[in-house]
């Protein structure tokens, strides 16, 4: 994996006086700071998190070892946790379905003939990425505002007053309102990544398909989608991980309410840890989520692989 200039050096050779020793010293000096940060602020919390899941800890007393009791409690007695897992399933499935508008937009953009127009669209698509995501969320919070929010005012304007709702305040609607929020569900960063994938392909392939007179829909399934499968897999894993472990959206928009209808396990974990000081139970949820996202990613990649053959 690593190329060295000279084959096989003995350990003592590195410390010989002169050039070797300076190079050893500089090499270690260059690498160790990065290693230190990675170990202390990334590896250590990862290991500590696994350990914490087997302890009860309230933030100041000595942690008490409880074995797998935290996990048993979650799955056997904790109705809120089970409810949050159900909600999470909806968010994950929603997230996967809503990946497709992005793919369609990417292919449409790629097929535009005029290269100048193409560039303009790409620049425009970059702009949502540099707007702080919190601004988008807070604007949607206003759009859903039941009293004078945009949505209800708009429904009144077009004479559909009967459809006005309290959206995020309605236990039956809140989860769907949250899923609707990304409308039109085009993740612009992903568009650029897909476009990159399509551009990296040898251009003769498009000329051949042109000559064969392949229709636009068939061209998508036979050519374009298979070509961006690598990018799709990466985004798929991103979407799964975000769906399983993410909770910023729910935290800001509804804080899990009303009546826990938008509570997701990640948010429940946050509340257990930082509101109820039940750090052990919270760490156990983290481990469960970690395992679920890893498993789902692995299964979906396997599934795509088997389809490829």
Partner 1 sequence: MEHATTKPFLRRLGWAELLKHATLIITCILLFFPFLLMLQMSLKTQKQIIFELFKIKSPFHYDNYAKAFREIWPLVGNSFMMAIISVVLSVFLASLAGYAFARLRFPFKNLLFAIFFLKMLIPGVANLIPSYKLALHLGILDTYLPVILFCAGTTMPFWVFVMRTFIEQQPKELFESMRIDGAKEWKIFSELAFPLMRAMVVLMSINVFTFIWNDYIWPLVTIPTNTALYPITLGLARLATLYKGQLGVLTAGYTLACIPLLILFIFTMRHFIDGLTSGSVKM
Cα separation, 86 vs 265, in Å, equals 9
Which position among 82, 155, 166, 287 is part of the footprint of partner 1 (CB under 8 A)? Answer: 287
> Considering the rule CB under 8 A, would residue 150 count as an interface residue with partner 1?
yes
> Considering the rule CB under 8 A, would residue 254 count as an interface residue with partner 1?
no
Q: Would you state the structure tokens that stand for residue 32, as one six-digit string?
A: 């160790």
Measured from the CB of residue 216, what is the shortest distance to partner 1 in angstroms? 7
Restricted to residues 50-69, the positions that interact with partner 1 (CB under 8 A) are 50, 52, 59
Residues with Cβ within 8 Å of 78's Cβ and at least 6 positions away in sequence, in order, are: none
Of 65-73, 74-82, 87-95, 124-132, the window that binds partner 1 (rule: CB under 8 A) is: 124-132
Measured from the CB of residue 41, what is the shortest distance to partner 1 in angstroms? 3
Query: What Å distances lie between residue 1 and 4, 285, 303, CA to CA?
Result: 10, 36, 29
> Considering the rule CB under 8 A, would residue 153 count as an interface residue with partner 1?
yes
* Nearer to partner 1 among residue 91 and residue 140 (C-beta): 140
Which DSSP string corresponds to 180-236? HTTTTT--HHHHHHHHHHHHTS-THHHHHHHHTT--HHHHIIIIIHHHTHHHHHHHH
Report whether 90 contacts 96 (CB < 8 A). Answer: no
Restricted to residues 68-87, the positions that interact with partner 1 (CB under 8 A) are none
> Considering the rule CB under 8 A, would residue 233 count as an interface residue with partner 1?
yes
Which position among 7, 8, 17, 42 is part of the footprint of partner 1 (CB under 8 A)? Answer: 42
* Nearer to partner 1 among residue 192 and residue 214 (C-beta): 192
């Amino acid at each position: 994996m690593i190329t060295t200039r000279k084959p096989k050096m003995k350990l003592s050779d590195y410390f010989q006086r002169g050039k070797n020793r300076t190079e050893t010293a500089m090499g270690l000096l260059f690498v160790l700071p990065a290693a230190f940060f990675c170990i202390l602020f990334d590896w250590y919390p990862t290991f500590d998190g696994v350990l914490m899941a087997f302890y009860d800890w309230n933030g100041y007393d000595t942690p008490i070892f409880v074995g797998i009791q935290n996990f048993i409690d979650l799955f056997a007695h904790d109705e809120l946790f089970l409810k949050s897992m159900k909600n999470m399933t909806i968010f994950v499935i929603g997230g996967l379905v809503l990946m497709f508008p992005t793919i369609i937009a990417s292919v449409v953009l790629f097929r535009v003939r005029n290269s100048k127009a193409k560039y303009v669209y790409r620049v425009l698509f970059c702009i949502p990425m540099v707007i702080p995501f919190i601004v988008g969320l807070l604007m949607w919070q206003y759009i859903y505002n039941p009293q004078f929010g945009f949505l209800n005012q708009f429904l009144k304007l077009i004479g559909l007053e009967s459809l006005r709702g309290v959206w995020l305040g309605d236990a039956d609607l809140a989860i769907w309102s949250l899923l609707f929020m990304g409308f039109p569900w085009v993740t612009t960063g992903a568009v650029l990544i897909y476009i990159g994938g399509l551009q990296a392909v040898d251009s003769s392939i498009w000329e051949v398909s042109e000559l064969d007179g392949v229709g636009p829909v068939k061209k998508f399934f036979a050519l374009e989608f298979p070509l961006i499968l690598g990018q799709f897999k990466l985004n798929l894993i991103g979407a799964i991980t975000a769906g399983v472990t993410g909770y910023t959206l729910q935290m800001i928009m509804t804080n899990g309410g009303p009546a826990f209808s938008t509570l997701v396990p990640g948010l429940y974990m946050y509340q257990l840890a930082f509101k109820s000081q039940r750090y052990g139970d919270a760490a156990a949820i983290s481990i469960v989520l970690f395992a679920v996202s890893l498993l789902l990613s692995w299964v979906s990649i396997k599934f795509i692989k088997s389809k490829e053959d």
